[in-house]
Chains A and B, each alone.
Chain A
Amino acid sequence: MTLSLVVFLPALGALIIALMPRGDRDETVKRAALAVAVLTFLVSLPLYTGFDARVADYQFQERRPWMPSLGISYHLGVDGISLLLVLLTTFLMPLTLLSSWHAIEKRWKEFAVTMLLLETGMIGVFVALDLFLFYVFWEAMLIPMYLIIGVWGGANRVYAAVKFVLYTLAGSLLMLVAILALFFQHGAATGNYTFDVPVLAQYVMPGGRTQNLLFLAFALAFAIKVPMFPFHTWLPDAHVEAPTPGSVILAGVLLKMGTYGFLRFCLPLFPQASLTFAPWIIALAVIGIIYGAWVSTVQPDIKKLVAYSSVSHLGFVMLGVFVLNAQGIVGGIIQMVNHGLSTGALFLLVGMIYERRHTRLIVDFGGLWKVMPAFSVLFMIVTFSSIGLPGLNGFVGEFLILVGAFQWNRPVAALATTGIIFAAVYMLWMYQRVVFGEVTREENRRLTDLTPREWVVLAPVLLFIVWIGVYPAPFLGLTEASVQALVSQVQAKAAATAALAAR
């Protein structure tokens, strides 16, 4: 029941908040929403304490028939791949709500309801073990995010929101057809018509055109969500227009759904095709790493810079996933969490100065060191974390990914490494222009430093940034068993597919 509770507690909270009388002041709504999010986080903690890291299989499983005649069931579970992402979601949500305290100025009640529904959708995506159920959460999550960008966003919000939905929808609808095709092919081959992911993952599909097409349909949906290089154009628009909490959730959790989808579905379901397309995907990932970094360098808007840096960082994750060895994948998973923490924190920090100055342009700042020392220090730590400085979390993930990549192909790994150098260029240059030097604008002299509420928002994130950087073993340990199982499953199934073809 734990998982169901974690998934549906936010939705329940949303319902209660929606039914609260109109007359209530925003303050009551804010507190209620925060309470629900904190409660959800507390409820999700037993997942961590009760998780057996030695077991590769799904844990906390729940299974009930839903549409038995079509083999659809309500099946939830977590393993080492999804556990950290679930915890990341429940961890970031209260902080995000707290950061919205003043950033969201209108319709707080609707905002709280939308955010909590979004949380249900996001957690659902990570724990659903039935393809139909997964798809339901995957699509259902789209609308709250659309509303958050479109209602509470910036000047060009409607364009960004519609672009976000149409891009994602086009990709995921093709995935729906692929899900159906997989369902019927598996049913025809084994006589067992089911959408159950663990069962489908056992099925050795014949290699060739069908498997390739199905893989591509899934991959397109996930690649748009990641977003991978030629499908990334919705991301800068969405990030720039979204309000601070929207950006944090988008960067912190939503982008991980794409990479998670590759790990959970593409690799085990279509191992042969994954191997076939791995070089292409790695090529796109490396292009994304370098392209994202270059484009970040020239951005005048801090938020847009961080958005493009996400393209670069997610390129690292994709690289780690598709080198298809344990180091790469573990690194990828940790890097997902790291990116959620450090980019989430960057968006929080940008939101804090935006609230004070109502601008995000780099040229409007300078010399913040003098007026906001505490802010500048935290900003520096997060910047270093994003670059991947040893001792902070970013290093662990990128290092493991590069170790994995070196085993796969050295030149590719070397090329990817340049992405870290460029990351130092754009992040440090941006930091230098915003924080160092003389105060260039009069308005900036009166800026106030971090408030206690902002400290509360940032401190937990920084704690984990340092913790994962210094002592990552507990986090890595959670994922290793499941990743090992995944890698051997992919290899075994690819071999079985080849044997099938040879016969």
Chain B
Amino acid sequence: MLPALVPPVISLRAIGPVLILSVTALVLLVIDLLPPRHRKEHLGVVGLAGVVLSLVASLYLWGADEQAFKGMVVLDGFAIFFNLVIGFAVGLVLLLSLDYVRRQGAESGEFYILVLLSAVGMTLMASAGDLIIVFLGLETMSLALYVLAGTFKSRIESAEASMKYFLLGAFASGFFLYGIALIFGAAGSTNLDRIGVALASGAGRDPLLLVGFGLLVVGFGFKISSVPFHMWASDVYQGAPTSITTLIATGSKAAAFAALLRVLLSALRPAQAEWALLLWGLAVLSMTLGNVVAIAQQNVKRMLAYSSIAHVGYILVGVVAGGSLGNASVLFYLLVYTFTTAGAFGVILLLERNGREAVEVGDLAGLASRHPVMALVLTIFLLSLIGIPPTAGFVGKFYLFGAAVRAGYIWLAVIGVLNSAVAAYYYLRIVVVMYMREPEGAPTDVSPSLAGTLAVFVALCGVIWLGVMPAPYLDLAQTALAPLLR
């Protein structure tokens, strides 16, 4: 007799935040069909409302620790923390986009819908308890981002960004999926907890599993853009609309780290020694290559692309260090990085010269005398990226390197801080240009955008507040991690 068919527990609560975002995206699809035809900003506003609602739902769910759909979806502090990071990222991106895409003549309903759909994918990745769900979230997010990168259809760089991102991304997804298949073959399950159990009971030496894990790292490495899987980053960051660059740099990275951490901590904890060694190498390569290549960049978006590769290296330092402090510092840094990067890109996005975006370093010359506030704000974001107190970036790095020192990875911390000194050179170059050079040619102006200014202001508050009063948020991250580290 066949065993009784037990339907999986369906818990809408566990997928609440994802559900809100999905429904918002669907509502947007409908609103898009209604008049007015030529203005689409209201879609962005509705989308923003959805994001805020999902943030509120996440806050309301804080403290939950449950699994649903046969362990496919997990709603715990960890997921909720990342929901918040992703929610902030997407919210800031929507604010930044409201005026920007219209100014650039590329406003369309799909833009906002796709941003929301990518947010659905990201949130799902943070809650995934199963490799299949990780993949589902990853693809939902990525497909939306591929299209969004090509929003400026008429510009060749935007099309190139989209194409490149798609081709390489599809390739990485292939690796990822193949890795899942091999792991399934070795462990007999795609559920993270059950892989962990299989691993602990001696399957750890299974070459299938190790190869499968290696392939997963390739897939994740692509999404977080760590060296040597970073090749796409500079062109995509440069070509994509600046607000989408922000989304790729913040939200998608946070989501990929969420899934990576969960896979490492739930499924692969018994093999920590092996993957820590691997990630050690990736961290050093990413920090060093990212910073060194960034020095040579003349385009601010490209420079920030390499800087983001370097920051992935710093974050990986925390992953390698592990433990409560190491992982909490990763979570904290992702929060900090979201505000800092969104702010830096936000300022760049608000500047224009000769009716186009001011993205060359030279465009910023003399900004301090024409727009002192903008120059000051950008300087604060850059200082946070360098890691100068009292900005949040300093505290973030302090936690990351502190965790590394505690775990005995002194050399990794030394390499990290020396890299920070190298990084200071190219970030300060922008400050030099803004404060110490005279402008040449047409003036660079700030385009008046209430929403954009608001986004930059929110990011600025985040960077300063997290820099001055970081303790509660690190504690929050540690609480969020507790169930995963049991």
Contact = CB atoms under 8 A, between A and B. Distances in A.
Interface string B426-442: 00100010011000000
User: What is the size category of the interface that chain A forms with chain B?
Assistant: 35 or more
B421 A140 contact: no
Contacts of B368: 110
B471 A150 contact: no
B295 to A, nearest CB: 12
Contacts of B420: 169, 173
Contacts of B185: none
A333 to B, nearest CB: 27
A176 B428 contact: no
Contact of A139 (B394, B402, B425): B394
A136 B394 contact: yes
Contacts of A107: 369
Interface string B368-392: 1100100000000001000011100
A277 interface: no
A151 B401 contact: no
A182 to B, nearest CB: 9
B435 A150 contact: yes
A161 B421 CA distance: 14
B405 A143 contact: no
Contact of B471 (A66, A165, A181): A66
B428 A177 contact: no
B186 interface: no
Contact of A69 (B372, B389, B432, B471): B471
Contact of A140 (B390, B405, B471): B390
Contacts of B406: 180, 184
Contact of A177 (B388, B413, B471): B413
B474 interface: yes
Contacts of B278: none
A139 B388 CA distance: 6
A70 B471 contact: yes
B417 A177 contact: yes
Given A150-B432, A157-B436, A184-B405, A136 B389 contact: yes
A165 B428 contact: yes
B211 interface: no
Given A69-B474, A181-B405, A181-B410, A173 B389 contact: no
Contacts of B428: 146, 162, 165
B281 interface: no
The residue in B372, B424, B475 that gathers the most chain A C-beta atoms within 10 A of its C-beta is B424
A112 B424 CA distance: 25
Interface in B393-414: 394, 398, 401-402, 405-406, 410, 413-414
Contact of A165 (B394, B424, B470): B424
Contacts of A466: none
A1 to B, nearest CB: 19
B369 to A, nearest CB: 8
Given A136-B394, A150-B435, A68 B471 contact: yes
B432 A170 contact: no
A169 to B, nearest CB: 5
A151 B366 CA distance: 11
A337 B402 CA distance: 36
A293 B425 CA distance: 32
A176 B475 CA distance: 22
A75 to B, nearest CB: 15
Interface string A162-198: 1001100110011011001101100000000000000
A132 B383 CA distance: 18
Contacts of B484: none
Contacts of A110: 368, 372
B421 A169 contact: yes
Contacts of B435: 147, 150-151
A484 to B, nearest CB: 34
Contacts of A162: 425, 428, 432
Given A169-B424, A176-B398, A67 B470 contact: yes
B388 A176 contact: no
B168 interface: no
B471 A67 contact: yes
Given A139-B394, A140-B388, A166-B421, A176 B401 contact: yes
B418 interface: yes
A409 B178 CA distance: 72
A143 B413 contact: no
A329 B109 CA distance: 73
The residue in A72, A107, A169 that gathers the most chain B C-beta atoms within 10 A of its C-beta is A169
Nearest to B435: A151
Contacts of B414: 174, 177
A70 to B, nearest CB: 7
Nearest to B373: A18
B388 to A, nearest CB: 5
The residue in B389, B410, B413, B428 that gathers the most chain A C-beta atoms within 10 A of its C-beta is B389
B389 A180 contact: no
Contacts of B389: 135-137, 139-140
A142 interface: yes
B432 A158 contact: yes
Contacts of B410: 177, 181
Nearest to B470: A67
Contacts of A158: 432, 436
A230 B56 CA distance: 58
A355 B58 CA distance: 63
A110 B478 CA distance: 41
Given A135-B389, A140-B388, A173-B417, A166 B425 contact: yes
A11 to B, nearest CB: 10
Given A140-B389, A150-B435, A170 B401 contact: no
Contacts of A184: 402, 405-406
Contacts of B436: 150-151, 157-158, 161
Contact of A174 (B402, B417, B424): B417
B208 to A, nearest CB: 39
Contact of A166 (B388, B413, B424): B424
Nearest to A153: B436
A180 B397 CA distance: 12
A371 to B, nearest CB: 36
Interface in A47-90: 66-70, 72
Contacts of A135: 389
The residue in A107, A180, A181 that gathers the most chain B C-beta atoms within 10 A of its C-beta is A180
16 contacts: A68-B471, A69-B475, A139-B389, A140-B388, A142-B388, A150-B436, A158-B432, A162-B425, A162-B428, A170-B421, A173-B421, A174-B418, A176-B398, A177-B405, A177-B413, A180-B413
Q: A-B pairs with the 4 shortest C-beta distances?
A: A173-B417, A67-B471, A136-B389, A180-B405
Given A107-B369, A150-B436, A184-B405, 11 more contacts: A69-B471, A110-B372, A135-B389, A136-B389, A137-B389, A150-B432, A150-B435, A177-B410, A177-B414, A180-B406, A184-B406
